[in-house]
């Protein structure tokens, strides 16, 4: 009988030890992932001649700090291209340099670029636009959104929520357009995708992730988070033109 009592006391202790060991393994793996991503990101930045700032990780999400304005966007792109990085963004104290505007792009997923990166040098900054040239009413803002997106649609890497360099440039341009919008205006970001092998559930998640990726860039560019609303529609709203892979931005009066 005493042996049974001893055994009944040892079982809870063994379960507690097992749980503690599992927690330690999970914690160490997470720390190892962050350390590996940090090391590889810093190496990629150093190879591109961008070593004046720093990059930190929370899981697979990167945050860049301390980069000069004319290097911040290039540094962000380099870290985003590191294998294993889920999303990268700059902290609020970095003002990214004005991106160059490329030619018109389609709304379908773009193929990843294979062009080798070159170190960024002292690129001339774009002259700041005067506030009088920026629309502040709902209709004017919507017209400007339509113009910017028509010239360079917001595109993503195939089957992911990672924006292409062109898509990122468009999102940052929209952040500048929204800089002087009044508090009563909201920007609704709607994500749409075509149904893939994962079915309806996977399509809904990907559309939500893409809308949130655009929202993060707008907020990093100075748009208050309270003015940005996101929603994913999956593949539920196809267009007659077949442009199912798309992100729509609608200006609303709050």
Residue 195 has pLDDT above 50, yes or no: yes
- The answer as to whether 125 is a domain residue is no
82: containing domain: 1-98
Classify residue 86 as exposed, middle or buried by CB count within 10 Å of its CB (0-12, 13-18, 19+): middle
Return the percentage of the chain with pLDDT > 70, whole number.
Answer: 69
- The answer as to whether 127 is a domain residue is no
- The answer as to whether 238 is a domain residue is yes
Q: Are 84 and 34 in contact (CB under 8 A)?
A: no
15-61 tens-digit pLDDT: 665 655 555 444 345 567 888 888 888 888 888 888 788 889 888 88
Average pLDDT, the chain: 76
Strands 61-65, 87-90: pairing is parallel
**In angstroms, what CA-CA distances link 140 with 136, 239, 245?**
7, 25, 26
Return the percentage of the chain with pLDDT > 90, whole number.
Answer: 25
- The answer as to whether 128 is a domain residue is no
Mean per-residue pLDDT, 2-7: 57
- The answer as to whether 107 is a domain residue is no
69-80 and 165-177 helices, crossing angle to 10°: 140
CATH of residue 239's domain is: 3.30.1330.60
- Residue 151 shares a structural domain with residue 250: yes
- Residue 68 shares a structural domain with residue 182: no
Domain count, the chain: 2
- Residue 85 shares a structural domain with residue 149: no
Distance CA 45, CA 79 (A): 7
The model's confidence at residue 174, banded by pLDDT at 50, 70 and 90, is very high
Of 147, 242, 161, 228, whose CA–CA distance to 194 is shortest?
A: 242
Return the pLDDT at 46.
83
73-131 tens-digit pLDDT: 888 888 888 888 888 888 755 443 334 344 333 344 544 443 334 444 444 455 444 44
Quick count: other Cβ atoms within 10 Å of Cβ 41? 25
Q: End of a domain among 53, 76, 98?
A: 98
Mean per-residue pLDDT, 64-75: 81
Q: End of a domain among 98, 114, 148?
A: 98
Model-level pTM?
0.47
């Amino acid at each position: 009988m005493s042996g049974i009592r001893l055994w009944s006391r040892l079982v809870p202790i063994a379960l507690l030890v097992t749980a503690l060991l599992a927690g330690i393994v999970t914690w160490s793996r997470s720390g190892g992932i962050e350390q590996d991503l940090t090391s590889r990101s810093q190496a990629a930045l150093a190879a591109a001649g961008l070593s004046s700032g720093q990059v930190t990780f929370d899981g697979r999400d990167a945050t860049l700090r301390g980069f000069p304005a004319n290097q911040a966007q290039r540094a962000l792109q380099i870290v985003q291209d590191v294998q294993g990085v889920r999303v990268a963004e700059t902290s609020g104290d970095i003002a990214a340099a004005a991106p160059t505007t490329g030619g018109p792009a389609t709304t379908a997923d773009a193929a990843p670029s294979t062009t080798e990166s070159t170190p960024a040098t002292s690129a001339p900054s774009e002259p700041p636009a005067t506030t009088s040239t920026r629309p502040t009413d709902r209709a004017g803002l919507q017209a400007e959104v339509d113009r910017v997106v028509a010239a360079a649609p917001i595109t993503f890497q195939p089957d992911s929520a990672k924006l292409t360099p062109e898509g990122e440039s468009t999102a940052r341009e929209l952040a500048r357009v929204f800089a002087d919008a009044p508090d009563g205006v909201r920007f609704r970001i709607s994500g749409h995708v075509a149904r893939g092998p994962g079915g309806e559930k996977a399509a809904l998640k990907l559309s939500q992730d893409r809308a949130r990726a655009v929202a993060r860039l707008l907020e990093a560019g100075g748009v208050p988070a309270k003015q940005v609303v996101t929603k994913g529609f999956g593949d539920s709203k196809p267009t007659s033109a077949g442009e199912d892979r798309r992100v729509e931005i609608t200006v609303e009066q709050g």
